[in-house]
Amino acid sequence: MSPPGTPNHSHDFNAEMQDIIVLFTPSKSGREIAQAPSICANEQDRITQDLKRRLIDAENDADIARKRLCRGRNNRTEGVAEVSPNFTVKELGVRARRQGRKFVILCSPWLALGDGDVESFFTTELDDNYDEEMRFSGGEDEVDERQGQLRKSIDILPDDLEPFRTRPWLAKSFVDGMKSQCSNTHTRLRKHALQHILTDLVTVPTPAPNAASRSTPVPDAAAPEPVTPAQLASSTSRFRHFAVRIGWREDKQKYSIWHVPFLHGNESERLDYNQLFRHSLLLMVFTCIIRGAAAAEGVMGKVSQHSKAKTMQKMFNITSTTPGAIAACAIWVIWLFSADKSFGKVGDVTGINYYDHFNLYLEKILEGLRLRQRWVRELFLYWDGHVFPEWNGARFGGGVDPDDDDEREELAEATAALHDMPVVSDDDEEGED
DNA sequence: TACTCGATACTGGTCTAGTA
DNA sequence: TACTAGACCAGTATCGAGTA
């Protein structure tokens, strides 16, 4: 067994490095700053090795079934902490939980579980034949999608947790973190941040829909500006004021996936890749999530407030936008203005399949990146320029089976339009660098 | 001391397995 | 089949750390 005592290791190495580097004043030379990571990395390696050794000890003990204790509420680390007093619950569960939070913010609000549970997700073997282009091929078992997510989840796991990826306690803590993050975002967007978001929100008047033969409550498409909290106060008022802007098609009595004004910078009613995912709401939601409720104000003026408190951005050293973050923010915006009361894969009131919509949005962004299309390059420049102006530029970010003809048609239309978008030539790219 | 924000305990509803 | 206890889930309230 390892000796008593556990290193204080409560946040990520990257975040630690960020904090350290920020401490350097401009008077420090580039060489001094460049040397800092290697100095700290040596210390980090030592701590990591120690941590790994203790984890192995704890896990060996945890495998003895009789030692396991009953599981308590909100305790996802049974079988580990109680049999290894040298290893606290915080060091195991908290770290895994944090990665779950990070995953929701930067990758996806949901895991592609298919017919399995979260443990089977993390015990899934990496498939060497996995093809990223097939990630959203639409298989019902979500195997390809899971492979894509699995790679992302491994990417964000710290090195010292990665060897324990297949352990049940890690899976449960990870998902706990995911749920907690979704829960926090729900409360933040609908409660704490709403006033800040509405302060800077200027919407474009939307033409009224064809009002012929209405059998259901009809949203008021031409809602007066600016948006007020009262309009968002209830499920019915949200539907009345914003349904059209989140894609409600009166003629088809359903929500569109792509023709969504609140996803377009110019609130276009038709899909326009040059404006897609550029609405200020998406950027405000993202800053709310990573930087706190008050950060929504000023983001479009590139003067979003950085809280002095510990924020997700600081904790996870978030310095650029990711495809998953953009797609997730699109979902959060639609949900925020929807009649839905709870946040889930499928809207409890609207029936919107947020999970499918998220995958479709992510698919198009990734496809645009893969095809080196200009619209997606400029999208990341736009996001990073507004959300991370201090970091100077973008890093370029880092299937669904439609259930009816309308969605198939809309999807085919979106795909055709995507393939018509101009691409970036090598010469253009060199010019940008 | 006030403020912000992440973490977590708590609450109420739902689901499920076990039992009579 | 009905009942019950426990587990689970989503959302909310509160606490505590960090900062000016």
pLDDT at A32: 39
pLDDT at A236 over 70: yes
Paired with A423 in beta bridges are: A373
Sequence-distant (6+) residues with CB within 8 A of A207 are A221, A222, A269
Residue bearing the bigger pLDDT, A427 or A243? A243
Token duo for residue A186: 């729900």
Q: Is the CB of A8 under 7 A from strand B?
A: no
Strand residue runs (E) in A186-300: 248-249, 254-255
- In terms of DSSP H, where are the helices of A323-404? 323-336, 354-370, 374-387
Average pLDDT over residues A360-366: 92
pLDDT at A107 over 50: yes
pLDDT at A433 over 50: no
Q: Which nucleotide is nearest to A73 (CA to C1')?
A: C7
One-letter amino acid for residue A335 of the chain: W
Average pLDDT over residues A388-415: 58
Q: Is the CB of A186 under 7 A from strand C?
A: yes
pLDDT band at A268 (very low <50, low <70, confident <90, very high): very high
Q: Is the CB of A344 under 7 A from strand C?
A: yes
Q: Is the CB of A237 under 7 A from strand B?
A: no
Give dist(CA A28, CA A9) in Å, integer: 27
Give dist(CA A93, CA A10) in Å, integer: 11
Among candidates A271, A240, A272, which has minimal Cα distance to A258? A271
3-state class of A355 per DSSP? helix
Q: Which CB contacts under 8 angstroms, 24+ apart, belong to A221-225?
A: A221/A245
Question: Above pLDDT 90, what percent of chain A?
Answer: 13
3-state class of A373 per DSSP? strand
Average pLDDT over residues A266-293: 90
pLDDT at A257: 94
Question: No. of H helices and E strands in chain A?
Answer: 16, 2
pLDDT band at A428 (very low <50, low <70, confident <90, very high): low
Token duo for residue A414: 């979106």
Mean pLDDT taken over chain A: 68
Which of chain A's residues 54-113 bind strand B, using a 7 Å CB cutoff?
73-74, 90, 94, 97-98, 101
pLDDT per position as a tens digit, A121-155: 787 777 777 776 666 666 555 677 778 888 877 87
pLDDT band at A12 (very low <50, low <70, confident <90, very high): very low
Question: What residue is closest to C19 (Cα–C1')?
Answer: A308
pLDDT band at A67 (very low <50, low <70, confident <90, very high): very low
Are the C-beta atoms of A334 and A354 separated by less than 8 Å? yes
Q: Is the CB of A294 under 7 A from strand B?
A: yes
pLDDT band at A262 (very low <50, low <70, confident <90, very high): very high
Q: Is the CB of A315 under 7 A from strand B?
A: yes
Are the C-beta atoms of A76 and A174 separated by less than 8 Å? no
Average pLDDT over residues A159-174: 75
pLDDT per position as a tens digit, A295-349: 777 788 777 766 666 678 777 778 788 898 899 999 989 988 888 877 878 887 7
Give dist(CA A152, CA A364) in Å, integer: 17
User: How many Å does it take to go from CA A83 to C1' B15?
Assistant: 31
User: How many Å does it take to go from CA A91 to C1' C18?
Assistant: 21
Nucleotides of B under 7 A from a protein CB: 3-11
User: How many Å does it take to go from CA A11 to C1' B5?
Assistant: 16
One-letter amino acid for residue A47 of the chain: I
Q: Tokens 């479009």 map to which residue?
A: A300
Give dist(CA A337, CA A67) in Å, integer: 49
pLDDT at A274: 95
Among candidates A276, A293, A263, A290, which has minimal Cα distance to A199? A293
pLDDT per position as a tens digit, A36-61: 444 344 444 444 444 444 444 444 33
Work out the widest C-alpha separation in chain A, in whole angstroms: 77
Nucleotides of C under 7 A from a protein CB: 7-13, 16-20
User: How many Å does it take to go from CA A213 to C1' C17?
Assistant: 58
pTM greater than 0.75 (yes/no): no
Give dist(CA A142, CA A134) in Å, integer: 11
pLDDT at A308: 61
- In terms of DSSP H, where are the helices of A81-205? 89, 95-106, 118-123, 143-156, 168-187, 194-200
pLDDT at A196: 76
pLDDT at A355 over 50: yes
Q: Which nucleotide is nearest to A101 (CA to C1')?
A: B6
pLDDT at A14 over 80: no
Q: Which nucleotide is nearest to A293 (CA to C1')?
A: B5
Q: Is the CB of A187 under 7 A from strand C?
A: yes
Q: Is the CB of A90 under 7 A from strand C?
A: no
